Structure 1
Amino acid sequence: MSMTSLDVGIRTRSTWYPRRETKKTAKKESCVICLDDDIDPHLMFSVDKCRHRFCLNCGKRHIKAKLLDGKVPDCLQHRCKSQLRIARCVMLLTRKLRLMWEERITEDSIPLHKRLYCPNPRCSYLMSTTELLSSSESTYRRCFICGTSFCIYCKVPWHSKLSCSDYKKLHTNLQDDDAKLKSLANLKGWRQCGRCQHMVELSSGCIP
């Protein structure tokens, strides 16, 4: 069967105008924390190990609350023990929160009974008694950051003219004051700051 010039023209033109495909709409996601079910995928983040996903806003609030409570942030999913990583949460952190997170990691790497904070309230740098004890047999030490002199056993500014036992005898009221403070803290719901050891009241965030 022969084709006319009109048939050829129609077939030729059809190759120049392919069928247009309908643009697909990105599938929305939901956050199990705030229950928002209309979230764009790029506004979600997932935890490395468990792959649980949450919206960025809930992630930011969770991380801030955990750090203010003196803890390293973990997964938001109930009963999930997966830890969050700083590198994975860069988009959720301010510079202040990142520094706070790094401090929490350092604290967790030192056993509680081996933590020693600089007695200078303007410093409060965290040190390990293991590292401090290995440098000298004397009880005299200096803060690595501010240089404040202190006694490693009494954990107070250096008492050059008193032995540790004499110092404690002269400051027996300190133990009574500590007991009273802890009792008041329990009554008021205060907590001890993980960095400076002072009693503080949480002004924002969630208390688990």
Structure 2
Amino acid sequence: MKVNLAALAKGTRRLLKKFIYVRATRREHKNIKVAQESSKKTTDTCKICFAETYVDQMFLVPSCHHSYCLACMSDHVEYKLLDGVLPKCPHENCKTELQPDCCKEFLSPNLVIIMSQRMKEASIPAQDRIYCPNPRCSALFSRTKLQGSKKNSTRARKCPNCKNPCMSREERELRWLASRERWRQCPKCRDMVSLASGCYHIYCRCGHQFCYKCGAKWGHGRPTCRCPIWDERNIIYAGQNVGQKFRNEKRTM
């Protein structure tokens, strides 16, 4: 059997080239894998605790690109929030403000909510802030935006979140004082009315008539409620005031 040595040698060289190409490709892929594994083990030094930390456990501050470990960033932001301060980048003299979205990586959901609230507070001037008095809501609003077209109105606005009356600090203090002194608010004009003595039939300066005890409207000179028209204590108190006034006038004569 004759063998064509020239053809065999040519075929061998062709197979050898193909094998070398495949071997080189596999080696190249293997090198990429090693490079990826080595990058995961790369460390960096945290500038706060000075610990060598894997880069996937470091936080890179957007804009300024300062980096710190997640544990130190979590402590830094939490401390600032609980102190009522908007957190910034911990780097000395760096003024980059941290945003809630980028801090979700290391903050608890409750702290993210607190951070968003702090940022909203900072965007509203202190004298313009109104908090919903409802303990289950406590939403923050701008008094100017809340009043809108009713800028000069004394009527209590409603919280857009829970629909309860939303008042400023001055309005809350007035309500507290009115409750302590047992003042009443005119159902029509909302002005405060104080009853020192006399009957419960109130004739407001706006022309509206109502019962001081329950606020029900008076119509055609008659009450629409079943409250008593007067209280004996108010009548006695009124008589004492008249007597005292008479004695004071007599002394000055």
TM-score when scaled to structure 2?
0.52
Gaps of 5+ in 1: 167-208
- Please list, as runs of the form range in 1=range in 2, the aligned pairs for 1:156-171 lying within 5 A after superposition: 156=172, 158=175, 159=178, 161=184
In structure 1, the residue matched to 2:73 is 59
Aligned structure 1 segments of 4 or more residues deviating by more than 4 angstroms: 16-22, 157-160, 162-166
- Please list, as runs of the form range in 1=range in 2, the aligned pairs for 1:9-20 lying within 5 A after superposition: 12=16, 15=20, 17-18=23-24
Alignment length, in residue pairs? 160
> How far apart are the structure 2 equivalents of 1:119 and 1:86?
26
Contact 1:114 1:129 in 2 (8 A): yes
**Equivalent residue in structure 2 for 1:48, among 62, 67, 71:** 62
**Identity across matched positions, percent:** 31
Contact 2:131 2:168 in 1 (8 A): no
* TM superposition shift of 1:48: 1.0
* TM superposition shift of 1:129: 1.6
In structure 2, the residue matched to 1:116 is 130
SS class of match (1:45):
strand
2:45 maps to 1:30: yes
SS class of match (1:91):
coil
* TM superposition shift of 1:32: 0.5
Change (3 A) 1:147 1:65: same
Gaps of 5+ in 2: 1-8, 186-190, 195-253
Amino acid of the residue matched to residue 55 of structure 1? C
- Please list, as runs of the form range in 1=range in 2, the aligned pairs for 1:51-200 lying within 5 A after superposition: 51-136=65-150, 137-141=152-156, 142-149=158-165, 151-152=167-168, 154-156=170-172, 158=175, 159=178, 161=184
Contact 1:107 1:126 in 2 (8 A): yes
**CA deviation string 1:134-177 (max 9, x = no partner):** 342322223333333355462317457255798xxxxxxxxxxx
> How far apart are the structure 2 equivalents of 1:42 and 1:123?
38
> How far apart are the structure 2 equivalents of 1:98 and 1:53?
20
* TM superposition shift of 1:21: 5.4
> How far apart are the structure 1 equivalents of 2:153 and 2:59?
51
Contact 1:72 1:105 in 2 (8 A): yes
In structure 1, the residue matched to 2:201 is none
> How far apart are the structure 2 equivalents of 1:103 and 1:58?
22
> How far apart are the structure 2 equivalents of 1:56 and 1:49?
18
Q: Report which structure shows greater RCO (CA 8 Å, sep ≥6).
A: 1
CA RMSD of superposed structures (Å): 3.4
Between structures 1 and 2, the one with greater helix share = 2
Amino acid of the residue matched to residue 125 of structure 2? P
Amino acid of the residue matched to residue 116 of structure 1? I
TM-score when scaled to structure 1?
0.62
Amino acid of the residue matched to residue 68 of structure 1? L
